[in-house]
Amino acid sequence: MLGGGQLGRFFVLAAHEMGYKVVVLDPDRNSPAGKAADEHLCAAYDDMQALERLAQTCAAVTTEFENVPADTLDHLSKFIPTRPNAACVSIAQNRIAEKTFLSDRGFSVGPFAAIRSAADIEAADPSLFPAVLKVARFGYDGKGQARVANVAEAKAAFESFKREACVLEKMLTLDIEVSVVLARDAAGRIAPFPVAENSHRNGILDVTIAPARISGALAAEATEMASGIAAELGYVGVLGVEFFISGGRLMVNEMAPRPHNSGHYTIDACVTDQFEQQVRILCGLPLGDARQHSRAVMVNLLGDLWYSQDAHHAHEPDWSRLFRHPGLKLHLYQKHHARPGRKMGHFTVLGESGDPVIDTAMDARLAIGIRDD
């Protein structure tokens, strides 16, 4: 496993339950996945000695975040199966490459322009404004993004991003945001999970409702589009595809070449979760049943909660407030220290019908100290 965050940790736990041993490569000695793994290589992702150890020790390799160097994946693929491959990851690493790949193949995306210089901003279609300027690489959870009302603001934001390549995306009026997480094996078989409905705070996923409260036709279209993207990529692994719905129209926002935060509900609400699927694909096993057996609402727990009573000192939240709900499952990521905006865990509320599950999740969210400012 390349990467040591919570997604890697869930993969390690799933692999262990299925009888496999896992080596994690991550430069952070306190990485959550590294702590759970059979072996933690605490080294950089381009450390050749560590990569040689992986190639000699492991039967296959995967990743848990898209910013692992594509060259690392490419190098390892010469010795062992690498899923997903470097080509897929390199497309998802760069917003310009990603948007271009999607639009060139006829997938619906919102209006955008590639920005590599200030001149590109001046030449952009005026109808793009107001817009969001996003750095092309290494931006996630709202980082490396700025809302811009006009050319002048876009130029200022571009300068603040040190003139890194960016995409300028038209700010859309959204009906709702949804995502599809799917598993695709080496034979091209696809097992999609139900479409999830997502809401964000400060660019970070806050709440996921599954299944999404959209029409069956729209859900089918989202699933078909995500499956089509995976097929066009020749993707092997677990893929997350985020969509905007604006004016009733579905548009791809971005894709993640790995399990996805909005797919965490599958751990408790589906026959096979996204991490077991990742293990199955990596090991050449048949795909598991992706059927959802319970309605679910997932709520992210950010480091801000640890500072809700004292801005200068972290205090563990009172989890007993959550455990009062018998249909609630808590997952903490064993991160070394809390900080605002950092994903520290999540909880999922399960039930048989939608509204009571949503109400319980919102009550639990408030009880633990999450307030809509």
**pTM assigned to the model:** 0.95
Could you tell me the residue ranges of all domains in the chain? 6-82, 111-170, 176-367
- Tell me: pLDDT of 164 over 80: yes
Q: Could you tell me how far CA 174 lies from the centroid of its own chain?
A: 20
> What is the model's pLDDT at position 371?
85
Q: pLDDT category, 121, cuts 50, 70, 90? A: very high
What's the rounded Cα separation, in Å, for the pair 340 and 305? 8
172 is in an annotated binding site: yes
Rg (CA), the chain: 20
Tokens found for residue 15:
């692999």
Assign a CATH topology to domain 176-367.
D-amino Acid Aminotransferase; Chain A, domain 1 (3.30.470)
- Residue 276 pLDDT more than 80? yes
Residue 261 pLDDT exceeds 70: yes
Distance CA 192, CA 180 (A): 7
Q: How confident is the model at residue 160 (pLDDT cuts 50, 70, 90)?
A: very high
Q: Please report the pLDDT score of residue 142 as a whole number.
A: 64
Confidence band for 203, pLDDT divided at 50, 70 and 90? confident
Beta strands in 196-282 (DSSP E): 196-201, 204-210, 237-246, 249-256
Backbone angles phi, psi at 220, to 5 degrees: -65, -40
Report residue 6 as tokens: 């919570």
Is 145 known to sit in a ligand binding site? yes
Tell whether residue 171 is among the known ligand binding residues: yes
pLDDT of residue 198: 98
Residues 59-111: pLDDT tens digits?
999 999 888 998 999 999 999 999 999 999 999 999 999 999 999 999 999 99
144 carries a ligand binding annotation: yes
The amino acid at 141: D
Does 140 carry a binding-site annotation?
A: yes
- Tokens describing residue 23: 């080596």
Looking at domain 111-170, its CATH superfamily turns out to be ATP-grasp fold, A domain (3.30.1490.20)
- Three-state DSSP state, 120: helix
Between 365 and 373, the more confident residue is 365
What is d(CA 219, CA 356) in angstroms, rounded to the nearest whole number?
A: 22
Residue 55 and residue 73 in contact, taking contact as beta carbons nearer than 8 Å: no
Kindly state the average pLDDT of the residues 293-320: 92
Please check if 143 is assigned to a binding site: yes
Is 169 assigned to a binding site?
Answer: yes
For the chain, give the mean pLDDT: 95
Q: Is 95 annotated as a binding residue?
A: yes
pLDDT digits (tens, 9 = 90+) for 124-159: 999 999 999 999 997 666 678 999 999 999 999 999
CATH number for the domain running over 6-82: 3.40.50.20
| pLDDT, position 140 | 67
Q: Which residues contact 289 (CB under 8 A, 6 or more apart)?
A: 191, 270, 271, 272
Residue-wise pLDDT tens digits, 318-367: 999 999 999 999 999 999 999 999 999 999 999 998 799 999 999 999 99
Residue 162 known to bind ligand: no
Is 253 among the annotated ligand-binding positions?
yes
pLDDT at 141: 60
Task: Give tens-digit pLDDT for 10-58.
Answer: 999 999 999 999 999 999 999 999 999 999 999 999 999 999 999 999 9
Alpha carbon distance 293, 211 (integer Å): 11
